[in-house]
Chain A
């Protein structure tokens, strides 16, 4: 149960760390200076990763079905939604602001 009610937030923690690590590594490696489609390689990687993470975190709502009590269902729904919304909001700078300056 403890795993289930924490899963959405664990995914947020993983996603948040991943985006921060990718941004730091990408800037150090100069990926922001490599053109890719209509943007830079760094931004393309970051935006794609972010969208995949957000999709995965909403998909985690399926965990609610496995909950064995009303309490667990309520808490799992709330924390999974909190994790998904947190990923949406805290990851949004990948699409909005400059990456390396």
Chain B
């Protein structure tokens, strides 16, 4: 097969139909990645317009441009859009588009999940923007502190829009995190050991793992607050044993790692772009990996520094103040590695480099003010002033927007296949750089002079007028810069000249493919023996196009790519990915209906979309059917490898495992909340505790353990090819899980006090609901496994569904034991 014929065949396999049908059914990572990037930029523009309205309001004292009610919506939506609808999705889009190309793969591990995440993001974001149009946008600040966001003080649906809309969008974040993690760990080119991975992949892997742990506390907190608002369960009401501080803990458990979740991908862009423009290799690869690992962990020990002013004891303040200062060290290691790389090389002052230099200036200033705010005495003075606003914009715009702009100009030729001169780009850089510093440097000063955040007006005699006016003028200059950037990109897409492959003479694999990239990325997959494969093999691109790598011969219309052993990069198996389908958009629409039902207060009606989502989920898994064993497949170069369904660790198993890690973090957060309220909150002990329920609890625990053991036995029999016994055992397992569900329901109804009475009862019901949900999921997984056996789709080689069912049964039994211990201990010990 010649190169042109190969291209046509692969394009037919991996591409999507033209027009609307293609838009709806495409699951290709390049399509989804580009959509994320474009939509995120559109939301950035909306957030930017809101920011200009805020600055217009604050330009003069006592301004009547907007009233306080609208102003509250403006700053709340500005923060929420920038954090949830711009920064995270922008990095997700870049990751989805770029990661397979950097790793020498043809797609991400779960293409349908990418597409589902995209539609959830689009629909969730649309709900939030629509609320603004209808005048019911969230108005309690982007961190939605209780009691302001509780029903008593926000009786309308403004807070519900935030809680439900953001949770809807977060589905896409968790999807992307699992997708990125599994893709980096498994879907790399053969030979790409972990220490040969491009640094960008390390950054994305660690960011994705952080998301898996950081987002569940926010999702849990949002669910608890929504339940409090909807059903009066008093998690955050101090009069009934709740605490507003619990919300702050749950929010900032997410919120501070979030800052690094935003920064790290941008730092990955720097570590990728800077050495290329410095015409050298990155200095201190291993030190950077160590630094970003340290940064990831330490970033989880900072959350209380947002709560220094809440009256926490000195010792706890000391823990978090020390961690907040310490986190500057791994950041500094990276900054010094970048400076060393520049020093080591022969830097060219191309447009991306200009943005990187801008990053250095702005981010270092932001880091310095961050260390100032980490010191408790200073923080108590500057807390909730415009100094904090200045700091966070220096860190987030300096640490995210500038590197991403560098990345945008660096990779634009990859997206479009075009290049153009840099004049307009340089003009936009200077407008943004100067406008940014004029806007936000002034805020340090107004903050130090005592100007509070979130005030819609200030008196003339406060002495802040000139500084605010200059700041507002700067913001408009910056906005012109971003508008110029958008125009420059549009010209680049439509009017620039075609460009050859690899215009920067870079060494990473994304430049080994034609630009713009075909749907399948590369005609055959390389063997990697260097961190910069193109630098060590300049003819690699041609050789791969000729089909001289792995999987160079398309077959059966399969979307094939290679999976490797996690650490060594040795060939593990061939993954056959699912093709285009409407399932992701249909599932996202039904998921959206669930959130809209809740928003409309139609709680019983919301059970309909829940049932539909379950049915679609089963359909989602069912269509990946495989009726016979395939055996080892030829992969080129005289080698063979098993197909993923016959391999020991296919992506589906890894994805389920990381989903359970996120799930476990949600449970840990709930347990933390329960313990926190028990120890810290006022009005404890509760007036009424659990009474009885021991027998139901023991029955639930025993049946869950039996379900887990039966799932294991079912897998053992399935792996031996004993389909009859495996089916019967799976049915017995389903029955055991059903008993668990019934026993838990009985425990709740007969022994627990009403959830509205006290936070103790509310937490107990929440824990019970968690256990009940997971027993139901385990039941469904095992029932699905049973159906697979009946349909003849399980063999000694093909046991994936049974392994996943075992995983969920084990998880359900283990978490049930923890939940029951928490529920029953008070009554047993009293």
Q: Which residues of A contact B (CB under 8 A)?
A: 1-2, 5-6, 9-10, 12-13, 16, 19-21, 23-25, 27-28, 46, 69, 71-72, 74-75, 78-79, 82-83, 86, 89-94, 96-101
CB proximity of B20 to chain A, nearest CB, Å: 43
Query: How far does the alpha carbon of A24 sit from the alpha carbon of B319 in the complex, in Å?
Result: 12
B293 touches A23 (CB 8 A): no
Q: A28-B679, A74-B286 are in contact. Are A90 and B567 (CB under 8 A)?
A: no
Query: How far does the alpha carbon of A16 sit from the alpha carbon of B303 in the complex, in Å?
Result: 13
User: Does chain A have a CB within 8 A of B330?
Assistant: yes
Query: How far does the alpha carbon of A9 sit from the alpha carbon of B290 in the complex, in Å?
Result: 10
B301 touches A24 (CB 8 A): no
User: Does chain A have a CB within 8 A of B323?
Assistant: yes
Interface centre among A13, A24, A27, A69 (most CB of B within 10 A): A24
Number of interface residues of B (CB under 8 A): 32
Q: A24-B680, A78-B287, A86-B298 are in contact. Are A16 and B293 (CB under 8 A)?
A: no
A23 touches B315 (CB 8 A): yes
How would residues 541 to 580 of chain B score, 1 for a CB under 8 Å from any chain A CB and 0 otherwise? 0000000000000000000000000110000000000000
In the bound complex, residues from chain A placing their C-beta under 8 Å from that of B322 are 89-90, 92-93
B327 (CB) vs chain A CBs: closest residue? A86
Contacts A/B (CB < 8 Å), 20 sampled:
A1-B194, A5-B290, A6-B293, A6-B297, A12-B297, A12-B301, A16-B319, A20-B316, A20-B319, A21-B675, A23-B315, A24-B316, A71-B195, A74-B286, A78-B291, A83-B297, A90-B322, A93-B317, A97-B315, A98-B315
User: Does chain A have a CB within 8 A of B637?
Assistant: no
User: Does chain A have a CB within 8 A of B750?
Assistant: no
User: Does chain A have a CB within 8 A of B326?
Assistant: yes
In the bound complex, residues from chain A placing their C-beta under 8 Å from that of B289 are 5, 75
Query: How far does the alpha carbon of A93 sit from the alpha carbon of B330 in the complex, in Å?
Result: 22
Query: How far does the alpha carbon of A90 sit from the alpha carbon of B324 in the complex, in Å?
Result: 9
Q: A24-B680, A27-B313 are in contact. Are A82 and B294 (CB under 8 A)?
A: yes
Further contacts, 14 of them, CB under 8 A, given A12-B301, A13-B300, A75-B286 = A2-B566, A12-B298, A13-B297, A24-B676, A24-B679, A69-B195, A71-B285, A74-B286, A74-B287, A74-B290, A78-B286, A86-B326, A92-B322, A100-B315
Q: Which residues of B contact A (CB under 8 A)?
A: 194-195, 285-287, 289-291, 293-294, 296-298, 300-301, 313-319, 322-323, 326, 330, 566-567, 675-676, 679-680
Nearest 3 CB-CB pairings of A with B: A93-B318, A78-B290, A9-B297
Query: How far does the alpha carbon of A24 sit from the alpha carbon of B291 in the complex, in Å?
Result: 30
A27 (CB) vs chain B CBs: closest residue? B313
CB proximity of B310 to chain A, nearest CB, Å: 14
Q: A13-B301, A98-B315, A99-B313 are in contact. Are A82 and B323 (CB under 8 A)?
A: no
A46 (CB) vs chain B CBs: closest residue? B315
A80 (CB) vs chain B CBs: closest residue? B290
A9 touches B293 (CB 8 A): yes
CB proximity of A90 to chain B, nearest CB, Å: 4
Q: A71-B195, A71-B286 are in contact. Are A90 and B301 (CB under 8 A)?
A: yes
Query: How far does the alpha carbon of A94 sit from the alpha carbon of B315 in the complex, in Å?
Result: 6
In the bound complex, residues from chain B placing their C-beta under 8 Å from that of A12 are 297-298, 301
CB proximity of A37 to chain B, nearest CB, Å: 19
Query: How far does the alpha carbon of A79 sit from the alpha carbon of B293 in the complex, in Å?
Result: 7
A94 (CB) vs chain B CBs: closest residue? B315
CB proximity of A39 to chain B, nearest CB, Å: 13
CB proximity of B194 to chain A, nearest CB, Å: 6
CB proximity of A75 to chain B, nearest CB, Å: 5
B319 touches A82 (CB 8 A): no
A42 (CB) vs chain B CBs: closest residue? B315
Indicate which residue in B286, B294, B323 contacts A16 across the interface (CB closer than 8 Å).
B323
Query: How far does the alpha carbon of A97 sit from the alpha carbon of B316 in the complex, in Å?
Result: 9
B680 touches A98 (CB 8 A): no
